[in-house]
Structure 1
Amino acid sequence: MAVVTEIRHSTPTPTPLPPRPRASANRVAAWGALIVVLGAAIWSVADLEINIASMVQSLGNAADFTSRVFPLDFPPLGELLVMTGQTLAIVVVATVLAVLLSLPVAIFAASNTTSGPVMHGAARIIIVLSRAVPDLIFAIIFFRLFGLGALPGILALGLHSIGMIGKLYADAIEELDGGPAEAVRATGGSRVQWITSTVIPQLMPQLIATALHRFDINLRTSVLLGYVGVGGIGLELANALRTMQYQRGMALALIILLLCIGVEMLSGAVRARLLGRVRPGRGGARGFIDRIAAGWITAPRGGREPQRTRAGRIRIAPQWDSERIRRFAGVGLTVAIVALATLYADLNFSTLLKDLLAVPQLMGIFLPPSPQDLLGTLLESMLVTIQIGLAATLLGLVLALPIGILAARNVAPSARVANLFRTIIVVIRGLPELILAIVFIVITGLGPIPGTLALAIGSVGLLGKLVADSLEETDVRVQDAVRATGATGSQVFYAATLRQAMPQFIAHILYQLDVNIRSATLLGIVGAGGIGFYLLNASRVQAFDVVSFIIVMVLVTVLAVEALAVWTRRTLR
């Protein structure tokens, strides 16, 4: 007898999704603050009257500008070499000074090498304050304390550079392998011994690469400091434009542009070799630009492989091959260049001690800070400076986002597209903002518009690179998982890639805003609007109480933006 059993198919009960976690009050407040910043940026663009109509009205000025500039009036070769040598000497000595001061600060600022919470906090404060005070303000103070010469410019560039170099060194130290340091400590090595034998050797490639990158930045800034008396090609450019000698001024501007590109190409090639990004066989325009970018356009993401013996073991001491001989010769050449730069800068060490002893007395002329009868004007100018920074960041972001997205190799449709947009980013980064501001001032006239446009173009270079790097650092496994469900390319980008990179995007945008506000202060001295114009005038008429009041205003503004950026990054992480 057959038994038939009926099989019933039951519908599985769907598992309910867990409830979405409620956003914390801090997270809501952080997003609210970002919305307020976005609204302020949109208002700044409208209030500064940056629109297509104003650009069209300036086309006639562009034609007049071209007729007044050409033919270019280049200075005699001897004068050109002298002023270029002065500029390079100041920048070399300032960068070396910054590295020597930044390394101990970074060691105390890094959590794995600091001696205690007090020194850790003090080092972090030094880094923040050095970044917050623009080099222009340092230069004005040191010119009053030490008089004319190269020393004020060297100190201004060197002390301000501690903010960037010290932070990058501290971050690099915290990412080093702690195994060698633990091994040295286990053998009874002192703190100085394990730092000098394990931390410094591991840090050396990043140390040199960061110093070369800062050298490029200091070269551009030294030209701008020529407006407050720092010698070299920047001072000659300021004198030419101040007397409306546009043919000579734009000739010097072209020389500055070529000098910046040449120095950046040289330092980029050295950085690429140090970081293991050398790829043979690149030629033509693409190879030229790739060398400027330290191999960033076509470089693999991995680092350099350690040297090994024939048996396959990792070599702990490099052999004396051609590569080591070149490095040794490079060290000797670097020492010689620094020595020559120090001599050429003509530093008067005999009067330095006397000037240092007079510092407490001279500092009294800056105290107490007072706006005199210019409080309303100064507050309005400070607001314009903030508006320039906000508007430039917004305009730069609009252009940098698509360029940076297409420059990311894990997002771009092809490697050719990624390399093309990486090349565009490098070319834009090679344009000094000072030169752009001068051109826009002559075309559109004095005011905040030329400064905003110059900073917006500069923002495309930095923001575009940061966006591309952030997208490439996302976890590709998340993207592969979304793609495996049948999602399209745009769905993968918005659901997996962009969501991972969003916290980094926000951090980069706020960092760019911080940079633009400080840069707007600098560009104000050439007539690009904002508080910089009044800062320069107050120093010229020796109203140092007004100078110190403006310094306090700038410092408070920059620190407020810095605090907002730090709080937002921590909240939205």
Structure 2
Amino acid sequence: MSIITSIPRPDGASERSLPRKPPPTPNSIAVAVTLLLLLCAAVWSTVELRINLATMMDSISNATNFLARMFPLDFPPAGELAALIFETLAIVVLATVLAVLISVPVALFAAWNTTSGKYSRTGARVIIVLARAVPDLILAIIFLRIFGLGALPGILAMGLHSVGMIGKLYADAVEELDNGPQEAIRAAGGGRVQQIVSGILIPLMPQIIATALHRFDINLRISVILGYVGIGGIGLAIATALRSLNYQRGMALALVVLLLCIAVELISGAIRAALLGGDRSRSRNRTVSWADRVSENWVSRGQKKTGTSEGLDAGARPIAPPWNADRVRRFLSMSAVLAIVFLSLIGAEFSWEALGYGLANAPTTLGAFFPPAGGDLLPVLLSEMLVTVQIALAATLLGSILAVPIGIFAARNVVTNRAVQTFFRVLIVFIRGLPELIVAIIFVVITGLGGVAGALALAIGAVGLLSKLVADSLEETDVRVQQAVQAHGASRTQVFFAATVRQSAPAFVAHIMYLLDSNIRAATLLGIVGAGGIGFLLLNASRVMQFDVVTTIVMLVLVVVLTVEAISLWIRKAVH
């Protein structure tokens, strides 16, 4: 028989207890339920689209036949290939320049610290959201009807759609900028224009250029998609070759696009790194607060360059900056940019006459898009829109399964083996260079027409986006928490799950929702090559000039995209 005794607690001593975990809020419960419903919907979509091992096994023979018909690759003559590359780069350059020229004033109106009017700020934000929501393929179809064949519709489509991304990033950067320089200029009697130019645009110039270069990478991949609706360049050559089942020429051009995308991304990445500079350890959350960190570095460099008036007489006036190495470098860089834009106007065969003629007849041309079609066609469109959503959900689920482990192995603070880190980082860069349309075409040939090809293509593309975000989130965790867990005897696996993953979990959820948001837009585009969804009907309607049907499809896409974006934004804000 055992005897249990209790020792009385000394007087004045209190029982130590851990603080109670706060109860979940209604908002957090709603977020959890929504995430669970999205997971169930993604699993249902994967099953409904019949993405399974049996489908993959049945496609092995098609893959073998495709490889047999693809080799040997048939590259066009060097002169023809150089002309295609030059035309493609020219269109992308002009589209990116147009986007920057529009995004800067829109961002100034959208930022709270540069706009006093409530309605102007709201209007600018609406422009950014709508530009982001309408896919560039739809804009290209509309502009092709207005301006006709040529590079102009592609330039306008990519340029206006890019405002959705560039304008938002510029507006966020303006809002996070230190207001001290603006206030100093205002106190010295500077006007509104002087405050904007000297206090905002000059400090933000590194972000402006870096964001433009990043968008240039994206537009280069998008230009392949626009080739399927008649926009010139390599995309049109690929579309022509694959429509005639000339896989040797089509895949050869696709390889050129892949190498071009990787080369441009590496070059622009090096330029962005040189512009942004700074020590990465200064900012733990570099993915979210990159603009703040960069603006501080730029302001400090600017102060060092201008210096003070020490050594000058009290009545001396400022003089023009000397022609030192920095000023010569800036002058040469600006001259190079202007030369590139001028050459792009020549390479794209930009026609001011076509622009003026199209604008003059735009009201009459746009009349063909209204009123929207309805009636018996609406159920068919809704059914295909549902397939598009299923493709996006299934691709997000499968892409997350692929991308999260790759992102973990690419994180420097998780994997200590440098060779492993380098391999997975190179893999991510390689996949980021793959145009999703090319991957979708390959899967269409292998698995056949339908949503399977689109979902698999987007799942592969998710590795390039989500893996990088996952790796960055893991590297941005607080190492002190990991060290504290390790100091209590935890193994590396325990440290990873208890400290690293736990800190990164909210960011993981936010990144996956961002991936779903992106996949909804991309799934709309991949239908043009038979990868399932409403994109196929969109392309057919534009070919037979049923522009009222195009308008109905645009409205459906807008509703779905804006709804998913609102849900994604709500969840991302809740988990952070």
Pairwise same-fold verdict (TM > 0.5): yes
Structure 1 Cα separation of the partners of residues 279 and 329 of structure 2: 15
- Of residues 560-569 and 69-78 in structure 1, the stretch that sits farther from structure 2 once superposed is 69-78
Q: How does 1:549-568 map onto structure 2 within 5 Å?
A: 549-568=552-571
Cα 1:308–1:153 shift into 2, 3 Å: closer
Name the residue aligned to 1:412: 415
CA distance in 1, matches of 2:431, 2:168: 25
- Whether contact under 8 Å (1:216, 1:260) holds in the other structure is yes
Secondary structure of the residue that 1:315 maps to in structure 2?
Answer: helix
Tell me which of 314, 324, 332 is aligned to 2:335: 332
> 1:419-447, CA deviations, whole angstroms, 9 ceiling, x for partnerless residues?
33322222221222122112112222221
1:490 matched to which residue of 2? 493
Q: Per the alignment, do residues 407 and 92 of structure 1 end up closer, same or farther by CA in structure 2, a change over 3 Å counting?
A: same
Take 1:188 and 1:210, find their aligned partners in 2: how far apart are those partners?
32
> Hey, what does 2:451 align to over in structure 1?
448
8 Å contact from structure 1 (residues 506, 569) kept in 2: yes
Residue 346 of structure 1 is matched in structure 2 by 349
CA distance in structure 1 between the partners assigned to 2:481 and 2:323 by the alignment: 45
Q: Is the 8 A contact 1:407 1:418 kept in 2?
A: yes
1:305 to partner: Cα distance: 6.2
Partner of residue 266, structure 1 = 267
Q: 2:140 is matched with which residue? A: 139
Q: For the residues of structure 2 that align with 1:364 and 1:314, how far apart are their CA atoms?
A: 58
Instruction: Give 3-state SS (helix, strand or coil) of 1:438's partner.
Output: helix
1:427 aligns with 2:430: yes
Separation of aligned partners in 2, 1:388 and 1:30: 23
> 1:282 maps to which residue?
none
- Residue 315 (structure 2) aligns with: none
- Contact residue 222 and residue 435 of structure 2 kept, 8 A: no
In structure 1, how many angstroms separate the alpha carbons of the residues matched to 2:481 and 2:236?
54
Q: Percent identity?
A: 61
Give the C-alpha shift of residue 77 in structure 1.
Answer: 2.3
Amino acid in the other structure paired with 1:270: I
* Ranges in structure 1 where 5+ consecutive residues have no aligned partner: 1-7, 280-295
The question of whether the paired residues in 2 share the 8 Å contact of 1:42 and 1:391 is answered with yes
- Looking at structure 1, the residues matched to 394 and 419 of structure 2 have their Cα atoms a distance apart, in angstroms, of 32
Query: Structure 1 stretch 404-413 or stretch 480-489: which is displaced more?
Result: 480-489
1:314 maps to a residue whose letter is K
Which of 296, 304, 320 is residue 314 of structure 1 equivalent to? 304
How far is 1:374 from its partner? 2.2
Q: Does the aligned pair in 2 maintain the 1:272–1:278 contact within 8 Å?
A: no
Who is 2:162 aligned against?
161
Equivalences for 1:27-426 in 2 at 5 Å? 27-276=28-277, 314-316=304-306, 322=325, 324-426=327-429
Aligned residue for 2:202, secondary structure, equals helix
The 1:15–1:370 alpha-carbon spacing in structure 2 relative to 1, beyond 3 Å, is: same
Unaligned runs of 5+ in 2: 1-7, 281-286, 308-320
Q: Distance in 1 between matches of 2:182 and 2:475?
A: 31
Residue 409 of structure 2 contacts residue 421 of structure 2 at CA under 8 Å; is this kept in 1? Answer: yes
Q: What is the letter of the counterpart of residue 143 of structure 1?
A: L
Cα shift at 1:100: 0.3
Higher mean displacement: 257-266 or 330-339: 257-266
The count of aligned residue pairs is: 545
1:360-385 per-position Cα deviation (integer Å, ceiling 9, x unaligned): 22222111111353222211111111
How much has 1:177 moved relative to structure 2?
Answer: 2.3
Write the distance in 2 (CA, Å) between the matches of 1:490 and 1:335: 53
Q: Deviations over 1:284-340 (max 9, x none)?
A: xxxxxxxxxxxx9xxxx986967999xxx8333797554553443222111101011
Query: Separation in 1 of the partners of 2:527 and 2:336?
Result: 38
1:541 aligns with 2:544: yes
Name the CA shift for 1:260/1:361 in 2 (closer, same or farther; >3 Å). same
1:89 is displaced (CA, Å) by 1.2
Residue 286 (structure 1) aligns with: none
TM-score normalised according to structure 2 size: 0.89
SS in 1 for 2:73: coil
Does the CA contact (< 8 Å) of 2:223 and 2:235 recur in 1?
A: yes
User: CA 1:70–1:415 in 2, change beyond 3 Å: closer, same or farther?
Assistant: closer
Aligned pair in 2 of structure 1 residues 489, 261: CA closer, same or farther (>3 Å)? same
Secondary structure of 1:350's aligned partner: helix
Q: Aligned partners of 1:308 and 1:46: how far apart in 2?
A: 55
1:210-245 deviation line (CA, Å, top 9, x unaligned): 111111111111111011010111111111111111
Deviation at 1:112, TM superposition (A): 2.0
Question: What SS does the aligned partner of 1:188 have?
Answer: coil
- Equivalent in 496, 500, 505 of residue 503 of structure 2: 500
Q: Secondary structure at the match of 1:21?
A: coil
Change (3 A) 1:452 1:319: farther
Secondary structure of 2:189's aligned partner: coil
Cα–Cα, structure 1 residues 507 and 334, in superposed 2: closer, same or farther, change >3 Å? same
- 1:263, distance to aligned residue in structure 2 (A): 1.8
Contact preservation (8 Å) 1:372, 1:546: no
Secondary structure of the residue aligned to 2:352 is coil
Deviations 1:529-564 (A, max 9, x none): 110000000001111111100001111000000110
C-alpha change, 1:433 and 1:508, in structure 2 (3 Å) is same
- Aligned equivalent of 2:572, options 556, 569, 572: 569
Taking the aligned partners of 2:357 and 2:198, their CA distance within structure 1 comes to 39
| Cα offset, 1:462, TM superposition | 0.5
1:382-408 Cα offsets, whole Å, 9 max, x none, are 111111111111111112112212322
Q: Is the 8 A contact 1:306 1:315 kept in 2?
A: no
SS at match of 2:552: helix
Whether the 8 Å CA contact 2:224–2:435 is kept in 1: the answer is no
TM-score, normalization: structure 1? 0.89
**CA shift for structure 1 position 355:** 2.2
**Shift in Å at residue 10 of structure 1?**
4.0
CA offset digits 1:260-304 (Å, max 9, x no partner): 22222222221121122799xxxxxxxxxxxxxxxx9xxxx9869
Aligned AA (1:254): L
Which residue is 2:311 aligned to? none
Secondary structure of 1:66's counterpart equals helix
| Counterpart amino acid of residue 315 in structure 1 | K
Q: Which AA in structure 2 matches 1:31?
A: A
